[in-house]
């Protein structure tokens, strides 16, 4: 049985900044963060393949943000030396039961980003809009139909 589903966002060296941004924008709670430098050391031969290059110890290996409804958002920097793909291949949908809260979050996420569709009434929602935030992550904000 599947017990949870959460998005995992990867960044190219700016995960700490993004983490704080999403905690504030989504009124979330930072439950924890581990940097690559804080990870337990593995002395096996396989560990050599994934050894950390100097200067990346402060990059985020994993951060967990808990949202008000109990959902989780996970964030990390890509492992040093691995290919980074900007977040435009992922779209996250946030559904609210309150129009004003939806507007607030939409406006916060839109700061420094670009709006794809202004917030407006649609046939499926009293208020819906889409945007790409300043980190290249695509968001859809929707309010449940009454």
Domain of 120, CATH number, reads 3.10.180.10
Give the contacts of 88 (CB within 8 A, at least 6 positions apart).
Answer: 132, 136, 137, 138
The pLDDT of residue 93? 86
Residues of the chain with pLDDT > 70, as a percent, come to 88
Q: Count structural domains, the chain.
A: 2
Res. 46 pLDDT band, cuts 50 70 90: very low
- Angstrom CA distances, 111 to 29, 55, 60, 70, 116, stand at 20, 30, 23, 25, 13
Structural domain harbouring 3: 1-79
pTM across the whole model: 0.75
**34 and 1 within one domain:** yes
Residue pLDDT, tens place only, 67-125 = 999 999 999 898 777 788 776 557 788 999 999 999 999 999 999 999 999 999 988 89
The pLDDT of residue 99? 95
Adjacent-strand bridge partners of 52: none
**73 and 2 within one domain:** yes
**107 and 68 within one domain:** no
Higher pLDDT, 27 or 123: 27
DSSP assignment, residue 53?
P
Buried b (16+ CB within 10 A) or exposed e, 15-41: bbebbebbbebbebeeeebebbeeeee
DSSP-based three-state secondary structure for 100: helix
**102 and 61 within one domain:** no
């Amino acid at each position: 049985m599947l017990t949870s589903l959460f998005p995992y966002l990867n960044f190219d060296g700016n995960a700490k900044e993004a983490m704080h941004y999403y905690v504030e924008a989504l009124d979330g709670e930072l439950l924890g963060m581990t940097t690559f430098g804080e990870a337990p050391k593995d002395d096996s031969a396989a560990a050599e393949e994934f050894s950390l290059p100097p200067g990346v110890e402060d990059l985020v290996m994993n951060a967990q943000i808990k949202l008000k409804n109990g959902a989780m958002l996970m964030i990390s920097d890509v492992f040093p030396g691995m290919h980074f793909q900007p977040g435009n291949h992922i779209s996250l949908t946030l559904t609210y039961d309150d129009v004003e809260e939806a507007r607030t979050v939409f406006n916060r996420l839109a700061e420094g980003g670009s709006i794809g569709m202004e917030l407006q009434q649609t046939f499926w929602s009293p208020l819906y809009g889409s945007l790409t935030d300043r980190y290249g992550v695509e968001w859809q904000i929707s309010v449940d139909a009454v």
